[in-house]
Amino acid sequence: MLKKGVERKEVLRALGEVFRAHGYEGASLTLITEATGLGKGSLYHLFPGGKEQMATEVLADIDAWFELNIYAPLRNADDPARAIAAMIAGVDQYFHSGGRVCLVGMVALGAARDTFAASVDDYFARWQVALAQLLRRSGLSRSQAQRRAEDALLTIQGALVLARARSDAGIFRRALSDLTARLLAPPE
Amino acid sequence: MLKKGVERKEVLRALGEVFRAHGYEGASLTLITEATGLGKGSLYHLFPGGKEQMATEVLADIDAWFELNIYAPLRNADDPARAIAAMIAGVDQYFHSGGRVCLVGMVALGAARDTFAASVDDYFARWQVALAQLLRRSGLSRSQAQRRAEDALLTIQGALVLARARSDAGIFRRALSDLTARLLAPPE
DNA sequence: GACTCTCTGTACCGATCGGTACAATGTCTT
DNA sequence: AAGACATTGTACCGATCGGTACAGAGAGTC
């Protein structure tokens, strides 16, 4: 029998990778059973809501990871430079230096966007707010802090797209490095 | 009968919008027949290679648009500031100020990437080279020009993702405006 | 050992997928 | 008018889609 909490997390992780690799509509039940090692019976027992519930929970799981490893440290930090460095390091780790795609960004671009619009918006909104508040504490005006936080999110997303499009992880690393400098620059 | 050149372009434009709206794998033949007004008979007469050929030609069509409206002006320009402003204006127009998604970026993120890897890479590579050469003529070092061009492409892609994720076209416009300033900034 | 209740493999469902076959229709040439 | 050829609608193909039904296996309790 499943150790409920633990196993479910592992299933969600496998689901996440399938969605990342094939997109929401492209992740067929066949692919999902292969990736998770679970038959349809188990799958629909764990997720009575089908694919949509799977994706919803995967997004929630991603959100939880970012809340714990990115947003909360940003909120609780008192040294902006260290906090930003930690965020960049966390992002670099999470996205495997550009080798791993952002599922949230992917969903945002696809047809499934409307179904998950709230989760998608929330993911970016909470990140931006947490980062902007930190930047504000470091001396930036409210609007400058918001703009820089927006720039940070957009740079990360763009770097992921371009790195994958050109199969060049260097793009991602260079973008993160430049971004760090831009975030830490003195107020204009 | 079809006026071959003209009608085909129109079909390709409709195809492009279907692919943009539903992704490559999500664009079913049913959706395609509805969007183009063409039955399967006509579709497979025009594109014997099926969906893959349709997507290939759509990508080629996009490439041709950028070659004409973006890359070539960049190459032939002698006033960098004007050329960059024109590029930004062209991009803003093409992407409907963030309301229209980049099909190339979308393909890059999805499972169809490998099938169209060459076209995807080419699209970004030619853009980056054209822009970097212009920046070089404006006094930047080779590596600086390359980095700034890379930054430009990635910013545009990221802005498209974030604007769509948050349903906020303002993000795209702000990103383009900031980008213009960054591209025109004096060498570091 | 019998009774629960959770979990899972398998067979099956109607719908839709991308693609093919082909007869009928239209249009141009002579 | 007749023949050639481009174009199209429709019926159909096997495969796969997401999802359901359900019998039975597995583990925990008494």
d(CA A187, CA A166): 34
Domain count, chain A: 1
Residue of A nearest to B21 (CA): A111
Cβ atoms of B115 and B23 within 8 Å: the answer is no
Of residues B124 and B7, the one with the higher pLDDT is B124
Please name the residues between 89 and 118 in chain A that touch chain B, using a CB distance below 8 Å. 101, 104-106, 108-111, 113, 117
Output the domain CATH number for residue A65: 1.10.357.10
Q: Considering the domain boundaries, does residue B120 fall inside one? A: yes
Whether A124 and B171 lie within 8 Å, measured CB to CB? no
Yes or no: say if A19 and A103 are a contact pair by the CB < 8 Å rule.
yes
Residue written as token pair 């050329």: B83
- Domain membership of residue B145 (yes or no) is yes
Which pLDDT value is given to residue A7?
Answer: 84
pLDDT score, position A6: 60
For residue A148, pLDDT beyond 50? yes
Report residue B180 as tokens: 């213009």
Backbone phi, psi, residue A68, to 5°: -70, -45
- CA of A14, C1' of C10: distance in angstroms: 23
pLDDT at residue B164 is higher than 50? yes
Torsion of CA B8, B9, B12, B14, to 10 degrees: -110
Residue-level pLDDT at B5: 59
Query: Is pLDDT of B3 > 90?
Result: no
Task: Name every chain A residue with its beta carbon within 8 A of the beta carbon of B161.
Answer: 105, 108-109, 154, 157-158, 161
Under the banding of pLDDT at 50, 70 and 90, the label for residue A2 is very low
Whether B146 is covered by a domain: the verdict is: yes
Quick check: A135 and A144 in contact, CB under 8 A?
yes
pLDDT at A5 over 70: no
Q: How far is B40 from chain A (nearest CA, A)?
A: 23
Residue B155 with chain A: CB contacts under 8 Å? 154-155, 158
- Strand D nucleotides within a 7 Å radius of protein CB atoms: 6-11, 16-23, 26-28
Segments forming the whole domain that contains residue A77: 52-184
d(CA A103, CA A54): 13
Provide mean pLDDT across the span A8-36: 96
CB atoms within 10 A of CB B102: 23
Query: Do the domain assignments include residue A11?
Result: no
